[in-house]
Amino acid sequence: MSKAFVREQDHDEDDDALPVGQRIPAGGKNYMTPQGYARLRGELMHLIDEERPRVVETVSWAASNGDRSENGDYLYGKKRLREIDRRIRFLTKRLERAEVVDPSVHHGKDQVFFGATVTYARPDGSEVTVTILGIDEADSSRGQISWISPVAQALLKAREGDEVRLHTPAGVEMLEILKVRYPEPGAPSAA
């Protein structure tokens, strides 16, 4: 059968295809900081305004060269267009569901909300500092965790000095909240 009549699988990057830690809870909002929103929007605009038109131009040029079945520029370009379109759909959906939250409105408070940088003590005495951010902006290598992560869920709404329960595969761990910080109004957050 000719390739022209075979539809390639084009899976959407919807929440069902994502790892659990990157899915937006059912019926939930996609909380993010203004900086996280701007970063995703910037990526979307770059794809739409720059990258996609450049790849379309390459595919068009390659198609004009004749035989498409063995034309690497054409085949790669079409594949890249599908990837770009999939990412555009994903980013559009994420931004449509975005609930932008400015963590600086809590500056000076000691209760843990979205955008807080929290230092807590573990049972072994070690201290850990994390910043609670949106699903699409958290980077664990930078001490940033998603607001839906188990640690963030344990910390949310607690105050400095409180002990909270963190349920882990090894059992329950008690965490003591030592310090809660928020960015100053007008200052960029940790995102």
Q: So what's the pLDDT on residue 169?
A: 92
* Domain range 10-100, CATH architecture: Orthogonal Bundle (1.10)
Q: So what's the pLDDT on residue 109?
A: 92
Which parts of the chain fold into alpha helices (H)?
34-46, 52-63, 72-96, 150-155
Query: Does pLDDT of 8 surpass 50?
Result: no
115-155 pLDDT tens trace = 999 999 999 999 999 999 999 999 999 999 999 999 999 99
3-state secondary structure of 20: helix
Percent of the chain predicted with pLDDT > 90: 69
Q: pLDDT: is 25 or 117 the higher one?
A: 117
Q: Selecting from 3.40.605.10, 3.60.15.10, 1.10.3290.10, 3.10.50.30, what CATH number does the domain 103-181 have?
A: 3.10.50.30
* Residue corresponding to tokens 């939930």: 28
Is residue 100 a contact partner of residue 33, using CB atoms and an 8 Å limit?
yes
Give the integer Cα–Cα distance in Å for 46 and 92. 13
Q: pLDDT: is 22 or 142 the higher one?
A: 142
User: 77 is written with which tokens?
Assistant: 């370009």
User: Strand 117-121 relative to strand 98-100: parallel, antiparallel, unpaired?
Assistant: unpaired
Give the integer Cα–Cα distance in Å for 177 and 161. 5
Helix crossing, 72-96 with 34-46: angle to 10°?
150
27-60 pLDDT tens trace = 678 899 999 999 999 999 999 999 999 999 989 8
Q: So what's the pLDDT on residue 11?
A: 40
Give the integer Cα–Cα distance in Å for 128 and 83. 38
160-172 pLDDT tens trace = 999 999 999 999 9
Give the integer Cα–Cα distance in Å for 7 and 10. 8
Q: Share the mean pLDDT of the chain.
A: 87
Q: What is the four-CA torsion angle of 141, 172, 116, 179, rounded to 10 degrees?
A: -100
User: 28 is written with which tokens?
Assistant: 């939930």
User: Strand 117-121 relative to strand 127-133: parallel, antiparallel, unpaired?
Assistant: antiparallel
Query: Does pLDDT of 190 surpass 60?
Result: no
pTM for this predicted structure: 0.78
Q: Residue ranges per domain, the chain?
A: 10-100, 103-181
| First and final C-alpha spacing in the chain | 50
* Residue corresponding to tokens 């979307």: 44
